[in-house]
Structure 1
Amino acid sequence: MTISVQYFHITVNDPDESLGFYRDALGLDVRNDVAAGGFRWVTLGSASQPDLEIVLSEPHAGRSQADGDALQELLTKGVLTQIGLRTDDLDATFEQVRASGAEVLQEPKEQPWGPRDCAFRDPSGNMVRIAQTPKA
C-alpha cells in the first residue's frame, strides 16, 4: 500500500492577497479558482510536484458560521496553520520572498535538528517554513 499527500488546505483571510504570497513570491502556479456561495477556493501547485496541491480558502468557505468563526479566531491569533516547504536554493528563495514584503520570522540558519531553513508569515498570519533540499 502506498500513501501520498494529494492536497491540503490553508485558511486565509483574502485569497487575492494570499496569491501575492503563494503565487508571486513563492512562484506556485494557479491550477484552479472556483467561486461558490460568495467564497473562493484557489488551488496552487508546483511543476516539481505535479500531484500535490495547496488549496486556499476563507474561514467560512463551506463551513457553518460557528466553525468559520472558530477558524477565523485561530487565524487572527496566527496559530492556525504552519506549512513546510522545500527549495533547492534557500538563499535565493529567502531573498525573493523577503523582497515581496512578506513578514520575516527567521532568516536562513542551520537548525539543531538538522535542516537549514527560514520562516515567514503569509498575509493571513500562517507560518511558512522553507528548508534547503538536503544534498545527496
Structure 2
Amino acid sequence: MTINLSQCFIAVDDHDKALAFYRDVLGLEVRNDVGFEGMRWVTVGSPEQPDVEIVLEPPLADPGASPADRQAMAELLAKGLLRGVIFSTDDVDATFERLRAAGADVLQEPIDQPYGVRDCAFRDPAGNMLRFTQPRKS
C-alpha cells in the first residue's frame, strides 16, 4: 500500500494577491483556477513535484457558513493563525534574499536550528506563515 501527499490547503483572502506571491515570487506553477458558488480555488505547485499541490482556498469554504463564522475565520487569517507550509530548498539564504527583495513580510532571517536545518520564515499576503528549510551542511 502506498500513501502520498496530494494536496494541502492554505486560506487566502485575495486570490490575485496570493497568485502574485505564489506564482510570481515563489515560482510555483498554476495548475487549476476554479470558481464555484461565488468562491474561488486555485491550485499551485512546484514544477519539480507534479503530484503535490497547494490549494489556495477561501478562508471559510462553506457557502452555508454564517456571517459570524466568516468574520471569525477572517480574523484568524488576519492574525496568521490558520495554516502554514514548510518548503524545502537547496539554498535557504538565496531563497530568503529573493523573497525579501520581492517585499515579502519577513518573520525570521536564516538561522541554523538545533534540530539540523537552516531555515527562515515569511508571511504570505494573507498572513499565513511559510518556512523555507534546508538540511544543515556538515
Q: TM-score, normalised by structure 1?
A: 0.91
Partner of 1:65: 65
How far is the alpha carbon of 1:71 from its aligned partner? 2.4
Which runs of 5 or more structure 1 residues have no equivalent in the other structure? Answer: none
Cα RMSD of the aligned pairs, angstroms, is 1.8
Residue 112 (structure 2) pairs with residue 110 (structure 1) = yes
Please tell me the residue identity of whatever aligns with 2:11: T
Q: TM-score, normalised by structure 2?
A: 0.89
**Mapping 1:1-136, distance limit 5 Å:** 1-66=1-66, 67-133=69-135
**Structure 1 outlier segments of 4+, above 4 Å:** none
Contact 1:60/1:69, CA 8 A, preserved across alignment: no
Instruction: Classify 1:20/1:120 alpha carbon distance in 2 versus 1 (closer, same or farther; 3 Å).
Output: same
Which sits farther off after the overlay, 67-76 or 88-97?
A: 67-76
Report how many aligned residue pairs link the two structures. Answer: 136
Instruction: Classify 1:48/1:2 alpha carbon distance in 2 versus 1 (closer, same or farther; 3 Å).
Output: same
How far is the alpha carbon of 1:49 from its aligned partner? 0.8
Give the fraction of aligned pairs with identical amino acids, expressed as a percent: 58
Which runs of 5 or more structure 2 residues have no equivalent in the other structure? Answer: none
